């Protein structure tokens, strides 16, 4: 899975998630999230506000507004030690023929707000059947943490990226594929 930030406007982040499958196919899903309010497409928690501290809520409204960060801890991701915000959520439900226990641990890079690790474990008991699930997602590489050798290159790189993006955006807007006017039978 690859997540690419497409656009940032204020607190709104637009991104694409590309799922790579073993059979060689891919699925690309576009999404957005307001990292302040939590308003989003696909109810995401892949990105939160940068610089949050212990007891801060993940978002200010919506489904995750009651989730408070437990702690900021130091962890290593792609060979770099990072301050990460951690939250552990546990849920337990029990009914007549049903029992469920879920433990969710999320870690976000504190300086960028990017999800770097998620561990979800669940135990479900239903009508005599037991089901145990475990899912781990962990960042393996990032181009955000790469710092140029010379600090004087940073403005040049930013200008190059902005100009390249403007040229590509203009080219995409100019080239629009037109559909044939004759009906297809």
Tokens of 173: 């807007």
Q: How far apart are the first and last CA of the chain?
A: 39
pLDDT score, position 146: 54
Cβ contacts of residue 19 below 8 Å, gap of 6+? Answer: 1, 26, 27, 28, 29
Please count the other Cβ atoms lying within 10 Å of the Cβ belonging to residue 61. Answer: 12
pLDDT score, position 97: 85
For residue 143, is pLDDT > 90? no
| pLDDT mean over 50-78 | 92
Give the residue, 174 or 31, on which the prediction is more confident. 31
- For residue 57, the surrounding DSSP H or E stretch is none
pLDDT score, position 184: 45
107 within 8 A of 116, measured Cβ to Cβ: yes
> SS3 of 113, please?
coil
Tokens of 85: 């915000």
pLDDT score, position 43: 67
User: pLDDT per residue over 95-137, tens digit each?
Assistant: 888 999 999 999 999 998 989 999 999 999 988 899 999 999 8
Q: pLDDT band at residue 41, thresholds of 50, 70 and 90?
A: confident
Percentage helix, strand, coil, to 5, in the chain?
10, 50, 40
User: pLDDT per residue over 145-175, tens digit each?
Assistant: 654 444 444 454 455 445 444 444 333 333 3
Angle, vertex CA 34, rays to CA 29 and CA 38, nearest 5: 95
pLDDT score, position 181: 43
Cα–Cα distance, 41 to 29 (Å, whole number): 10
Strand partners, 15: 5, 31
* Displacement of CA 153 from its chain's centroid (Å): 28
């Amino acid at each position: 899975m690859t997540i690419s930030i497409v656009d940032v406007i204020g607190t709104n982040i637009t991104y694409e998630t590309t799922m790579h499958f073993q059979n060689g196919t891919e699925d690309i899903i576009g999404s957005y999230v307001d990292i302040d309010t939590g308003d989003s497409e696909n109810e995401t928690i892949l990105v939160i506000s940068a610089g949050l501290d212990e007891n801060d809520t993940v978002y200010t409204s919506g489904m995750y507004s009651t989730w408070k960060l437990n702690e900021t801890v130091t962890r290593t991701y792609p060979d770099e030690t990072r301050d990460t915000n951690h939250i552990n959520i546990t849920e337990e439900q029990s009914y007549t023929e049903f029992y469920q226990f879920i433990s969710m641990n999320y870690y976000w890079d504190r300086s960028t707000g990017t999800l770097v690790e998620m561990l979800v474990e669940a135990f479900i008991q239903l009508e005599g059947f037991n089901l145990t699930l475990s899912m781990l997602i962990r960042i393996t590489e990032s181009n955000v943490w790469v710092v140029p050798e010379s600090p004087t290159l940073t403005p040049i790189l930013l200008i190059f990226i902005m100009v390249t993006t403007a040229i590509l955006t203009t080219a995409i807007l100019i080239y629009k594929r037109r559909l044939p006017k004759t009906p297809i039978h």
